[in-house]
């Protein structure tokens, strides 16, 4: 005598399923679920890694931007100082001439 499992579908029909087939079906479903969960976890890890890389690049870009703005400020200060020095020289020459 073979072992069977009864399965009732949506229409109320009963199908006889062999237990060996049923265990294969359960094993297949278990592995499919395992692979789905594994794939999902890999996707989450990958997404987190992408976010961290994007955050790191943004932070690095901001740091470069701050460094660049600092250099620009220093150059402007030096330029203004030189320009003021040139004005002072021209003022002192004009004062001497008059």
pLDDT in tens, 29-78: 899 999 999 999 999 888 888 888 888 887 777 777 777 777 778 878 77
Indicate the number of domains in the chain.
Answer: 1
CA distance 68 to 55: 20
Which pLDDT score is estimated for 34? 92
pLDDT in tens, 21-30: 778 888 888 9
pTM over 0.75: no
CB 4 within 8 A of CB 18: yes
For residue 62, what are the domain limits?
Answer: 4-97
């Amino acid at each position: 005598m073979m072992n069977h499992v009864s399965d009732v579908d949506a229409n109320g029909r009963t199908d006889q399923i062999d237990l060996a087939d049923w265990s294969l079906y359960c094993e297949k479903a278990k592995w499919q679920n395992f692979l789905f969960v594994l794939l999902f976890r890999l996707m989450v890890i990958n997404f987190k890694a992408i976010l961290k890389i994007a955050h790191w690049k943004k932070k690095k870009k901001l740091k470069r931007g701050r460094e660049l703005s600092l250099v620009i400020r220093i150059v402007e200060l030096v330029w203004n100082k030189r320009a003021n020095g040139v004005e002072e020289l021209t003022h002192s020459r004009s004062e001497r001439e008059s």
